[in-house]
Each structure stands twice: as structure tokens, then as C-alpha cells.
Structure 1
Amino acid sequence: MGVPLPHAQARRAKRPLSPLWTVCALIAALFSVAAPSSAAAAPAPITKPPMGWNSWNSFAGAIDHTVIEQQADALVTSGMKDAGYEYVNIDDGWWTGSRDANGNITVDTAKWPGGMSAITAYIHSKGLKAGIYTDAGRNGCGYYYPTGHPAYPGTGAEGHYDQDFLQFSRWGFDYVKVDWCGGNAEGLNARTAYTQISDSISRATAQTGRPMTFSVCEWGGNQPWNWAPGIANLWRTSGDIIYWGERPSMSRMLANFDAAQHPSAQSPGRYNDPDMLIAGLPGFSDAQNRTHLSLWAISGAPLIAGNKPSDMSAATRAALTNREMIAIDQDSLGRQGTKVTEDASGLQVYQKVLSGTGRRAVVLLNRTGSAATITARWSALGLSGSAVVRDVWAGADRGTFTSGYATSVPAGEAILLTVTGTDGTPPTGGPITGKQSGRCLDVPGATTANGTQVQLLDCQGGSGQTWTRTASRQLTVYGTKCLDASGQGTANGTPVVIWDCNGQANQQWTVNANGTITGVQSNLCLDASGQGTANGTKVLLWACNGQANQQWTAPAA
């Protein structure tokens, strides 16, 4: 479990945060769970992760109608539109921040002849959809962090939510991305502000009949995966994947991928967003592009390109338009893939269950500095018998294998596979009961919140007491949460909590013949604190000592 500290990293900041600023961000995060002012309507009825193009990574604030029209044209001529890339999203820099006497946004017609309605009409004429950008606060990113931005104050929507989102809809926009630079600096509550925005979008849709896909760009500091699924279609889970003026980096890309691992929040129409694609930007190799796209596809993440479609290599075009990769990303089940095994540090296997029978997408990811063999075992994928393996990037079938597939993966790269076999019989869930107490391992209140410490409670048979042992040695509850040693702790007293399943060793357990349950990472025992037997007794890790408060009965694997 890697608990990200609440942060409010500047969207494109290039300087470190001060200690005082960080403390303020932590305090703000603690209050971010305040109840929204009203119940937001459902976001736009999309059913697959959005695909398209965004102007920021290649053009920053240097955009006008010519830039946008050229890239829209290129989406068509390059084959990206036919592959599914449909949104043309105009990011920061389109607006100077001025309003008329009635508070309406004024548009520079030298940059946007005919206004914004004209550019959406052009995009629509190509069979594409149009997206627009704003900020939840009064002043947008250019005011606080002018690098790469026009340094205009007042480019945010605060105080004009109903007015601005109705204007966007009337202009013909189909997608709106709402940033958090002004929101954070002005001390807004993230959940409340974005809920108000969702309400405004809903009201605009009711007036115009045009739904808008809603992208929350809050950077993950206020844990939007816990509240955004009810109000938005996608939500950023981390800082930018690239800051203006920097070259793409594998470390930043992997960090954003890791920060987006919240599978229980994702479902059709609701997506964790690890940020726009950097595939095709100068500084990334073809192999790095394929690794990047493999990870976004296994995650079911939005595929919003950030390169220049008007000027890309044949290899970049082939990678972005690979139909098998796109089919994995766009699979109708809408699931986020999860890590299932890591036999050695940095040698990881991720799987995504696909629609149909016995179908899986698999990524073999080598985070180390040397080529290594990685094995995907069918038991860890929930498959039985033999299965057929296909290498997506090679476009080649690799054959039929009886128990798993092993191949060498180059250093710092990934291999993307599809595996088709027979679904195994799912393990049966049941209670985990303490021998000393006779009470059940329980998630308090049947909550699904990450970090909730488990306890002892009278056995009641509810969902918060139904545990399943998986082939990868996890103990799962609710289907997507795992029993977890908090903070990857290995010391006596480490709380045992629930967390999104991620395949890490602190979520792997050995159920022993003597009734103990030991953590694979810590080799410590699951322990009822202080030999307690009362309802509410917390469960933690402790050195194994053979006492009855460390003995349990568990469901069969």
C-alpha cells in the first residue's frame, strides 16, 4: 500500500513547495470530505474511456483557431479519428480572462474568428467533438504559475459556474476539463466546488440538450476517487505527467500510473485519469511509447493524446492507432487492471478482466535496469487449464500454454498480451474467525474506504465479514479490497487495514496449518490487539507467539 500524502502540487509548477504551504495543503485535505451543498446529477452518459487530443502538451498557451484546426484535420487524415480518437480539447490559453458588463466571457476574435462557436462548428464538421478548459477557482493556473501560460488573472469560473458552463454548452462544447490551480490557492473545498460545477453542467444540459463529458483535474490531493465517481466522468489522480519545458520521463509516467490505482472507483462511464498521453513527444522512444500505452490500456484510462498529430512518425501513428491496444482500453466492462503478482522486485504482472468468457489482458512490466524473464501464471489470472497467448504489439499469436506464459522483457519496458482460456472456479468467500474470541474479522460499518482498520465483531455474515482467498494469496473483501499491512509496515503494531488490491507483498498472506495467518512481506502474524476478545478490538501485526489471539479459521482457497 502506498498512501499518497494529500498534496496540492501546482499543475505545472517548477519550484518545490514550502513547508508552510505543504502544511496548509494537508489541513485543507482533512476538510475536503465536507458534504456537498447539493446532490449532483449524473455526468454525461459515456460508456467508455474518452479518447481524443489535447492542446497543452505540445502547444501550452500558444493556441488559436489555426493550431486547433490543423490538429483536428490531422486527427482525420492520420487515421486517429477512425481508430476512436474523437475529442479535440482546447486547453489553457484560449481566454484572456476578461468579461463584459454582464459577466459573460469575452473572446479574442483575432485568435478565434467568429468566436468559440466557430471553432466548435469546424471541429464538428470533421465528425469530431469539441472540448474546453477552465478552472474551479477565480484565477487560473496562469495567474499562479505563469510558466507556459498567458499570465492573465480571472481565467477561472468561480462565481460564474452556471453562467460559464451554460455558455460552453451554447458554444457547442461536448467536453469540459476543470483545473484546480485557482481553486486550491483560493481555499475552496474540492468536493463542494466540483459538485457545484457538476450541478451547473447538469442545468446547462437541461437548457441546451447538449451533455458535456466532465473531467475533474484536481491532481489527487483531495482523493477524488472517493467522491468524484458520483459527479464526474473522469478525475485526475496525480500531478501533471509532464511540466511545461521538461522532456518526458519514464519515472514520471510510472508515478502517474501508480497513483491511478483505484480500481474500486472505476466502472463504465467513470474513470481514474493518470493524465494525458506523452506518447510521440520528443524524448520518448518507440519502445517507451508502447510501454506507456500498454499501462494506460490495462488501466482502462482515458486516451487523450498530447503529441502533434500533424507531425508524427509512422511508428507513433501505428502505436496510437493499434486496434488491439485500443480494444483493451475500451473494453465494455470498464474495469481497471490490477497487479496480480510480483515474483521479484520490479518484475510485475498486471491483468484486466475483459468482456466475454476467459479473456484477459496482461501486462508484463519490467521496472528494473536489466532484461528479465517475467511469468504470468494462469492461476493468478483466475484461469484454469490451457490458454492461448497473443502479443499485442507484435500482432502475433505466441501459442497455447498449459499453466502460464514466461518471456524475457527488456529493461524498463512492458509487453502487452491478451490471454484467452477457461475461467476457473471462483474461490468461495466466508468469515475469518478468531479462535480466542469466537468473533469475526470485520470491516467497521461495512465501509469501503481505503485505510479502514479491521476489527473483531460478532459474526453477522455481512459483506464486511466475507473474505475470499485468491490464488495470489490475497484476502479480499467486496471483490476489490484487500487485507493490507498499513504503509507496508513490518513492525509490531502495524495496523491491518483494507486497501485497493494492488498485488504488493503487504497484501499477501499465508494461511498456516496451525491457524495463524502471516504476512508475506513482514512474516508477522495477524493478531487481536492486547489479546482482546470484545467487539471493536483492533487487528494488527505482531511477532508470532503461538497464542490463541493469533489463531483463526479462514475460508478455503
Structure 2
Amino acid sequence: MGIVGFRPGRTRAVVAGALIALAALATAVSAGQATAVAAPAAAAAAVVSAPPMGWASWNTFAAQINANVIKAQADAMVSSGLKDAGYQYVNIDEGWWQGTRDGAGNIVVDTNEWPGGMKAIADYIHSKGLKAGIYTDAGRDGCGYYFPTGRPAAPGSGSEGHYDQDFLQFSQWGFDFVKVDWCGGDAEGLNARNAYQAISDSIGRATAQTGRPMVLSICNWGRQNPWDWAPGMSSMWRTSADIIYFGESPSMDRVLTNFDAAQHPTAQSAGHYNDPDMLIAGMPGFTAAQNRTHVGMWAISGAPLLAGNNLTQMSSDTRAILTNREVIAVDQDSLGRQGTRVAEDQTGRQVYSKTLSGSGRRAVLLLNRTGSAGNITVRWSDLGLTGSATVRNLWTATDAGSFSGSYTTSVPAHEAVLLTVAGTDGSSPAGVSIVGTQSGRCIDINNSSTTNGTQAQLWDCGGQANQKWTYTSGKQLMIYGNKCLDAYNKGTTNGTTVVIWDCNGQTNQQWNVNTNGTITGVQSGLCVDASGAATANGTKIILWTCGNGTNQRWTLR
């Protein structure tokens, strides 16, 4: 941002209402992997139950939009089958407003382009059984002022100074979703957390008056780490710059960049989603294989699915990809988890796993970033599964069969294979004990707790499941089949507590098991240590600078 010709964020919006307080509390409780989320004000945005699905105008039309454009896309969303597949939002992005206000400060639009005003277009979208989205900026001047695209520069097209007035007006017009961009906020050097909290609170006050909750989409392009605070005030937050800039052709490199930038699994939960930006599937220049790879990455991430192609000119291949019910089900799974990388046996050939609702169910993405086709293997131990498991390819809609221990398939260059794997959660005491050389006791999880943040301790070895660890190919020390030994809050200092947490593939859950008996954190370089060189039952496990003490020596057996 702030670079001439660089087009900042284009994204969506998340909700307004009373459920947010409970969701924020749940996020704060699980904040062992990220900065704790402050509880929002009493009035705030409501929470969506699944990643928003719909269509947004920016990627195809930029600022050159009007009522006829939007109506045509709403019609096509219904006729193409996207609505029946779960797509519901029709989001009007930048270009609808050029910054004009009346004497009372109310937004005024060009009624030649929007006959009947914005309420009329919201009503039209609703008449199709869909939901309507609109767009503004957190600053005084919106993106159309700093980066005019298809229209003259528009000063005053942001909502700063008019938050309560504008969000109430959006709600009165009938909009269900509001994307709030960051061009003005960035240029003015605003504090993003404070600005978006004020916006979320304004949405809450608007909802209290109109009874219409609005989804708030925070779109500050990953600036100021929104994954650390946005879950307390919104349902979705952009994690990176635009996936496509005005005048560009689609790029798989940009897709991969945005996918990587959205890897913040501990911020994500049901109702709160990392947003790698709108889809470019189906836009000119992308092949069907690229479209499948792109949509598969968003599905494994549990990301919002907002199509950006021209729905009135959509090919049958694109339609089939965007409406694949099994792929959509992975994205929309009720647990709301973000898939994480669990293995990379060869550089650029990666395995991502997403835990799905129900027992022993995983979605798996085999992603080949290299320039040549090659085999990629997914091991059940990396997924937290044991025994045999059945495999299904979601793009071909075929069952591969039942396999013991692992499954291998060839993945074309720069493509991905999306699978579901159904097996048995690894809840049995299979695995190894981690025995202290000094104490003779095992690393243990007290009372067999499965609660995130439970600190590991020493206890008499007994062979139970709460003392049995699996060392995966991804260097994770996994217990119970889905929890990993974790350096709390990504700590890298002496005394950092060693806990269990949902496995997420981050480096604070990766460990080197060394030939000298030490276990060192990949991220921190510190040693797993029995605190105070104590040997008693209940001694806490921490990280500490590696030394020669036997309280830092362990045997896996």
C-alpha cells in the first residue's frame, strides 16, 4: 500500500449483533497461540456460522459498476446454480459512491447509475433470495481517492468521522454485509485495532436500531496483525494484499502468496475466519486445473468463498468447480478449523490437513509447488489417525479405496489434489514415552486433560494415553492423535511453558529430537527442561537454554 499503482485490499465483511461476546470469550480462552483477544464492547458485530460465500464486484469490474451490472450478477448467481450451492452474498465493492454527502452529512449517490438509490439495489438482491453487501473505507478518503480505477479520484469517500451515520444508513438501506477497506486508514496512519473496534461498535449500534445485523469484513491487508485482534470484533479479516490488482491477469504465484499469508490457524474458529481475498477462479487466463487448485486451497483453509469472475459469462467447467458440493462442505465444515501443513517430505511437495466434524474425518490437500509432477504421500500418523483409512478424491468424485498407514498419489506440477480421509482418531496409547534421564519419570498431561494450554509435567510412567507421544514426519510430538507439544504463545525465552495445543503445523510445535538426548524447539532453539532440575511428580516442563544438566536429557521408548 502507499505505492503508486498498487491496489490495496478488496474483501468482505462480517456481522453485527449480540453473539460476538461469547465468540470473543471463546477466542480469548484459546489464545495460547496468539495474542489474547480483548472482549469487545457490549454492542458489536454478530457472528456468521460459516465462512461467507457469495460474489463481489471488484475483481472483474473494478470501480465501473452500476445497478445494471449488479442486477445481472445477482440474476446469474441464481440461474447458474451458485445460490443453490450455498453462495448468498452479492457484494458491491468500490465505485458505487464518489464521496458526495448532503447538508446533513448523509451519503448521496448518482441515481442515474443507481435508480431508486442503494435501498433499491439491496431490495432487488433480496428479491432473489440473496443477501446484499456494500463497501466503505475506515479513513476519510477511500481507495478511489488514492488509486482511482475507472472513475475520477473521489475525496471524502471514506467513513471516518461518520461511522455511526454511515453504518446506520447501510443498515437502513438493507445491507447485510459491509467490507471496510484501509486506504484512508493506512495513509493517515490510524491504529487499525482502534479504528475497526469503533466500526464494529457502530455496526452494533446500527443493529440495535434496525434489527438488521451486518457482516463486518475487515480489509486492512494484514497490516498491524489483524489475526491477533480481529476475531474479537469481526468474522473475517484480510491477511494480505490483493490477490489481483487493477489491470492485471490472474497469477498462481499471487494465489500461493495469499494462501501462505493466511496461515494463522490459532486465530480461526467457527465464526471467525482468515481471509486470503476473493477468488479469481474463472477469470480469463486461468485454466480449469488452476481453478481447482485455487479453490482447493481456500477450502482446506476454511476461507470465505467470494467469487470474483463474471457470472454471466461463466464456463461450465468454472461452474462445476465453484459448485462442487463436496469441496464446499470442506470449506463450510462446522468446526471452522483452518487446515495446516503437516508434512513436506520433499521441498515444495506439501501435505495440509484439516480436521472435520465427526469422528476420524480429515480433509487433505496435496500441494505440488514444484515444476515437475511427483508423488506425494500422506501418512495417517501426520493426520492423527491410526489403522486403516478410506480415501476419496473430491475433484474426481471417486473413492480411491482403503489404505493402511498412508496413501500416495502423483500430483501434477503446480497443482493440488483434494481428498477426504476417514479413519480412526489416534486416541489409543500407541506411541512412545518421553522419559527423563534425571528423574526416570515421563512427560505427562495431568489427569489426561485435552484442554488447550494444559502444561506438561513429570509423572511416574504408567503407559497411559496421556504419556504416549508420536513423533511425526513434521517434527511434531503428538498426543491423543490431535494435540501437539507446544511452546506456549510462540515463546522463545527461558521459562516458556510447554503445553499441549491443537496441532497446527507452526514452528512452535516442531521439535528436534537430538542424538545427545535433548529435545529442542525448532522455533526457539531452547531445550525441553524439567523446571528447577526437580524430579518429583508434578514438576512442570518448560523451555530453557540448553546446558549439560540431565534434567534436559530424554529418552523416547
TM superposition score normalised by structure 1: 0.81
Q: CA 1:467–1:341 in 2, change beyond 3 Å: closer, same or farther? A: farther
1:62-461 matches, within 5 Å, as 62-147=64-149, 150-425=152-427
Give the Å deviation of 1:46: 1.7
| In structure 1, distance between residues paired with 2:390 and 2:104 | 64
The correspondence for 1:14, drawn from 6, 15, 19, is 6
Counterpart mapping for 1:39-54 below 5 A: 39=41, 41-54=43-56
Deviation for aligned residue 1:44: 2.1
Between the aligned partners of 1:197 and 1:278, the Cα distance in structure 2 is 28
The one-letter code of the counterpart of 2:54 is G
* Residue 181 (structure 1) shift: 0.8
* CA distance 1:441–1:297, change in 2 (3 Å): same
Distance in 1 separating the partners of 2:434 and 2:99: 59
> Whole-Å Cα distance in 2 between the matches of residues 188 and 50 of structure 1?
27
Moved more, 110-119 or 348-357: 348-357
Q: Which amino acid aligns with 1:185?
A: A
Q: Residue 7 of structure 2 contacts residue 246 of structure 2 at CA under 8 Å; is this kept in 1?
A: no
Aligned to 1:452: none
Paired amino acid for 2:41: A
The structural deviation recorded for 1:548 is 3.4
User: 2:393 is matched by which residue type in structure 1?
Assistant: D
Q: 1:506 to 1:373 in 2, by over 3 A?
A: farther
Provide the rounded CA distance (Å) in 2 between the counterparts of 1:523 and 1:195: 33
The answer on whether the counterparts of 1:264 and 1:481 sit within 8 Å (CA) in structure 2 is no
Paired AA for residue 271 in structure 2 = G
Contact 1:361 1:416 (8 Å CA) reproduced: yes
How many Å separate the matches in 2 of 1:373 and 1:392? 18
Change (3 A) 1:430 1:410: closer
On the 8 A contact 1:61/1:150 being kept in 2, the answer is no
CA positional deviation for 1:284 = 1.2
In 1, Cα distance between equivalents of 2:162 and 2:508 = 47
- How much has 1:193 moved relative to structure 2? 0.8
Hey, what's the Cα distance between the residues in 2 that align with 1:56 and 1:434?
A: 58
Distance 2:190 2:502 in 1: 28
Give the aligned length.
510
Q: Secondary structure at the match of 2:327?
A: helix
Q: Report which stretch shifted further, 376-385 or 426-435.
A: 426-435
The 1:435–1:13 alpha-carbon spacing in structure 2 relative to 1, beyond 3 Å, is farther
Note if contact 1:351-1:381 (Cα within 8 Å) is conserved in structure 2: yes
CA deviations 1:346-389 (Å, max 9, x no partner) are 11111111111211111000111111100011111111111111
Q: SS at the partner of 2:313?
A: coil
Distance across 1 between alignment mates of 2:467 and 2:263: 21
**Cα distance change on mapping 1:537 and 1:87 into 2, 3 Å:** closer
* Superposed displacement of residue 475, structure 1: 4.2
Change (3 A) 1:457 1:496: closer
SS at match of 1:253: helix
| Deviating more after overlay: 409-418 vs 428-437 | 428-437
Query: What residue is the counterpart of 1:526 in the other structure?
Result: 527
Tell me what 1:29 maps to.
Answer: none
Deviations 1:442-473 (A, max 9, x none): 9xxxxx99xxxxx99999xxxxxx99945423
Write the letter of the residue equivalent to 1:188.
L
Query: Offset of 1:480 from its aligned partner?
Result: 7.2
From the superposition, tell whether residues 320 and 386 of structure 1 become closer, same or farther in structure 2 (CA, over 3 Å).
same
> Percent of counterpart pairs with the same letter?
62
Partner Cα distance (2:166, 2:373) in 1: 52
Partners of 2:430 and 2:142 in 1: how far apart?
51
* CA separation of 1:457 and 1:425: change in aligned 2, threshold 3 A: closer
Q: Which amino acid aligns with 1:405?
A: Y
Contact 2:237 2:274 in 1 (8 A): yes
CA separation of 1:104/1:427 partners in 2, compared to 1, >3 Å: closer, same or farther? farther
For the Cα contact (< 8 Å) 1:353–1:359, is it kept in 2? yes
Which residue identity does 1:377 align to in structure 2? R
Aligned counterparts of 1:139 and 1:392: Cα–Cα separation in 2? 44
Is the alpha carbon distance of 1:54 and 1:174 closer, same or farther for their aligned partners in structure 2, counting shifts above 3 Å? same
1:43-75 deviation digits (Å, cap 9, x = unpaired): 323211100000000000000001000100100
Residue 280 of structure 1 contacts residue 316 of structure 1 at CA under 8 Å; is this kept in 2?
Answer: yes
CA-CA distance at 1:425 after TM superposition? 1.1
1:486 Cα shift? Answer: 12
SS at match of 2:312: coil
Deviation at 1:36, TM superposition (A): 8.0
Name the CA shift for 1:474/1:150 in 2 (closer, same or farther; >3 Å): farther
Contact kept? 2:376, 2:410, Cα under 8 Å: yes
Partners of 2:332 and 2:306 in 1: CA distance? 13
CA contact (8 A) 1:485 1:507 kept: no
Per the TM alignment, residue 420 of structure 1 is displaced from its structure 2 partner at its CA by: 1.2
- Please tell me the root mean square deviation across aligned C-alpha atoms, in Å: 4.1
**C-alpha spacing 1:500/1:309, structure 2 compared with 1 (3 Å):** same
Do the aligned partners of 1:388 and 1:419 also contact (CA within 8 Å) in 2?
Answer: yes
* One-letter amino acid matched to 2:240: S
Contact 2:40–2:232 (Cα < 8 Å) also in 1:
no
The change in CA–CA distance for 1:467 and 1:253 in structure 2 (over 3 A counts) is farther
Counterpart of 2:311 in 1: which secondary structure? coil
Amino acid at match of 1:526: C
Instruction: Give the drift of 1:536.
Output: 13
1 CA distance for matches of 2:37 and 2:510?
A: 35
2:390 maps to amino acid? V
| 1:503, distance to aligned residue in structure 2 (A) | 3.1
Q: Is the 8 A contact 1:261 1:500 kept in 2?
A: no
- Whether the 8 Å CA contact 1:262–1:500 is kept in 2: the answer is no
Decide whether the 8 Å contact of 2:520 with 2:528 is kept in 1. Answer: no
C-alpha change, 1:211 and 1:287, in structure 2 (3 Å) is same
Q: How far did 1:550 drift?
A: 3.8
TM-score for both structures, normalised by structure 2: 0.81
- Deviation (angstroms), 1:524: 6.7
| Residues 496 and 540 in structure 1, CA contact (< 8 A), matched pair in contact too | no
Give the CA deviation at 1:528: 6.9
Report if aligned partners of 1:72, 1:123 keep a CA contact under 8 Å in 2.
Answer: yes
In structure 1, give the amino acid aligned to 2:124: Y
